[in-house]
Amino acid sequence: MKNKKVLLGMSGGVDSSVSALLLKEQGYEVIGATLELFAGSSCCNKNTYLDAKNVCRQIGIPHFTYDCKELFQKHVIDDFIHCYSNCQTPNPCIECNRFMKFGFLWEKAKELGCDFLATGHYAKTEYSEKCGRWVLKKSNNSAKDQSYVLWNMPQDLVEHILFPLADFQTKDEIRQIAQKHNLKVANKPDSEDICFIPDGDYKKFLETNSHLKPKSGNIVNAKGEILGKHNGLYYYTVGQRKGLGISNPVPLFVLGFHPEKNEVVVGEEKELYESEITVSGINLLLIDKIEKEMKVQVKTRYSSKMANAKISQNGDNIKVIFDEPQRAITPGQSAVFYIEDMVLGGGKIVK
């Protein structure tokens, strides 16, 4: 029989703070843990640590802080830079979940004798008789559901993960619980930006922390005709409209890149739609292998709507054929596959 000892990742925000309260009320022996990830980030500063530590002190649970800056640099920052260096648009939260929360933090949980790891994500885990295994599911709060960024957790870890906020419908409910228990973080704003770029200026971050520097090149259309100039390929992402500096009778959007020529390719909105993509770096949670073509729903960005599609596996890649063409599919982002409300798995879009 599993013990009820759980390590909870705490950011100092209201979600993880209320998660600590709920777990304790459910009879778990809770230990709070905060990761130092990147100096000066929105989730790595003195206030963050103090908020998390004070909440733990107030509700009577221990709290630990771990210095993970080198690990974060290796697995998240360096990947972020690598993606932009290769004309891809990354989602660093996904790498952070994989290596920090469900990697480093799970190892710490085991060292502390915990059978469970918990986070304040809006998602759900439960045992499925139909599938014969523990499954990752969407949360009841569809507006806040974060299952998309959790697709690459290890399959054998799903049964050890707790998401205390899974059954709540709104964020207001979470804040009300915090207020009821007089937690100082009850009205703390949500962090919306990339945590290590709190001012949102990713171009400045790249130029300060990597080899990437402004380098002028041509903006061209699909025929190769020069329409304008750009200052660096990393300034752009597929689907971008603003900031092109081009006067044209109809709006133009970034379609892609010719990195060998240092060119940004633009076109009309209708040219943004695609019916097929290739996905690599696969992690499957619901099954061990895709043996035959399957009908699924796919999300190609955290904010995108579900799209019906058929998927088939070819070696280490998955081919996705959409029922309807999809707009602005972006290399570097994740394609996450769902069957009903369960996460089948996912991978990185390579086109």
First to last CA, the chain: 46
Q: Cα separation of 213 and 232, whole Å?
A: 7
Distances (CA, A) of 37 to 7, 61, 194: 18, 23, 12
Name the packing angle between helices 14-25 and 171-180 (round to 10°).
70
The residues that bridge with 296 in the sheet, in sequence order, are 309
- What span, in angstroms and rounded, lies between the C-alpha atoms of 302 and 99? 19
User: DSSP per residue over 1-31, as a string?
Assistant: ----EEEEE--SSHHHHHHHHHHHHTT-EEE
Place of tokens 């649970």: 61
To 5 degrees, how large is the angle CA 28–CA 135–CA 147? 85
CB 92 within 8 A of CB 80: yes
Beta carbons of 243 and 228 less than 8 angstroms apart? no
- Within the chain, where are the H helices? 14-25, 46-59, 69-72, 78-85, 92-96, 105-111, 171-180, 202-209
CA-wise closest residue to 97 among 119, 65, 67: 119
Is 291 in a helix, a strand, or coil?
A: coil
For every residue of 107-165, DSSP letters joined together read HHHHHTT-SEEE---SEEEEEETTTTEEEEEE-S-TTT--GGGGTTS-GGGGGGEE-TT
Tokens of residue 304, six digits: 């995108």
> How far is the C-alpha of 204 from the C-alpha of 202, rounded, in Å?
5
Catalogue the active-site residues. 96, 195
| CB crowding 48-75: b at 16 or more within 10 Å, else e | bbebbbbbbeebebebbeeebbebbbeb
